[in-house]
Chains A and B, each alone.
Chain A
């Protein structure tokens, strides 16, 4: 992998995934779709971490452990975020985030 694929290719793949996830998180109206975009962004960051671990420090486990903690924190974030989406739906009967505007001044 190291001799065949340069690091830049992996980084560009990860940054493309990050931009797609950013677009999804900023432009979808459905609350769960926004969370899906955020999950894509977290995965792109994880690809970066693993790629740097493999290409620059393959004899230490630090990069892998960092990626592992990111996955665990993403699971916790998804649990809380989706619970908020469910609570929003129960209270407002909608999941479109632009109709939840009772805090607007």
Chain B
């Protein structure tokens, strides 16, 4: 029985680590997102092995159901024609790899092995199912439960404000001071054109009031 559990743990760990390596190393970002889903699924299996059944279900429901869908939609919304010569990693990736490898081999593993963990000698079979969790949410953890709702409210309102596009007028990049000065200098001879921007800085040179009120009335 022990050997079966050890084999299951080994397979799950290899699945998790292999999928994580693929997430950070694969070139196509859609493939990276799919490997991320594989990694989440392996972690749900690990939770099942650790007898946290409800957490395994939550992992599948929230990570694979919600976070992975958000990631895939964000990838589709920001996809551009990638040319194969452009690097997917920074220039500094070798030093980053060195630092993380040293962190793992020289700091984390010796710390884990040298510390004396207080483990029960005779562990009873644990069960923390949804009923116990519901009791905890309604008694000891009532305040964190409500604060989580407030946090989610703030996060979702912020995400909508950030992600939503103004229908009337696309938001123009805020100019830096140097660009502003350069723009002022060359405004007299000719109207400025900035080919790098999709919408040039014309709105900053002759500002128009935003048509906010009637647009808000339509939305409701």
Contact = CB atoms under 8 A, between A and B. Distances in A.
Q: Determine direct contact between A and B, CB below 8 Å.
A: yes
B171 interface: yes
Given A8-B112, A15-B109, A78 B119 contact: no
Interface in A1-52: 1-5, 7-13, 15-24, 26-33, 35-37, 39-40, 43, 46-47, 50-51
B220 interface: no
Contacts, number: 247
B194 interface: no
Interface string B151-176: 11001101110110100001101101
A39 B163 contact: no
27 contacts: A10-B9, A13-B16, A22-B103, A26-B90, A28-B89, A29-B87, A31-B78, A32-B75, A40-B23, A40-B36, A43-B43, A50-B47, A51-B50, A54-B51, A54-B52, A58-B126, A58-B128, A61-B133, A61-B136, A64-B54, A64-B55, A65-B136, A65-B141, A85-B78, A89-B78, A92-B173, A94-B80
Interface size class of B (residues with CB under 8 A): 35 or more
Interface of A: 1-5, 7-13, 15-24, 26-33, 35-37, 39-40, 43, 46-47, 50-51, 53-56, 58-59, 61-62, 64-65, 67-69, 71-80, 82-87, 89-95, 98, 102-103
Nearest to B3: A4
A93 B104 contact: no
A79 to B, nearest CB: 4
B218 to A, nearest CB: 22
Contacts of A1: 5, 9, 49-51
B177 to A, nearest CB: 10
Q: Which of B33, B46, B160 has the most CB of A within 10 A?
A: B46
B156 A79 contact: yes
Contacts of A69: 144, 148
A75 B43 contact: no
Interface of B: 1-3, 5-6, 9, 13, 16-17, 20-21, 23-24, 29, 32-33, 36, 39-40, 43, 46-47, 49-52, 54-55, 58-59, 62-63, 66-67, 70-71, 73-75, 77-78, 80, 87-90, 92-93, 96-97, 100-101, 103-104, 108-109, 112-113, 117-120, 123-126, 128, 132-133, 136-137, 141, 144, 148, 151-152, 155-156, 158-160, 162-163, 165, 170-171, 173-174, 176, 198
A17 B47 CA distance: 15
A99 to B, nearest CB: 11
A95 B80 contact: yes
Contacts of A55: 117, 119-120, 123
A76 B124 contact: no
Contact of A37 (B24, B55, B75): B24
A86 B173 CA distance: 14
Given A13-B13, A15-B112, A89-B77, A30 B71 contact: no
B62 A75 contact: yes
Nearest to A100: B173
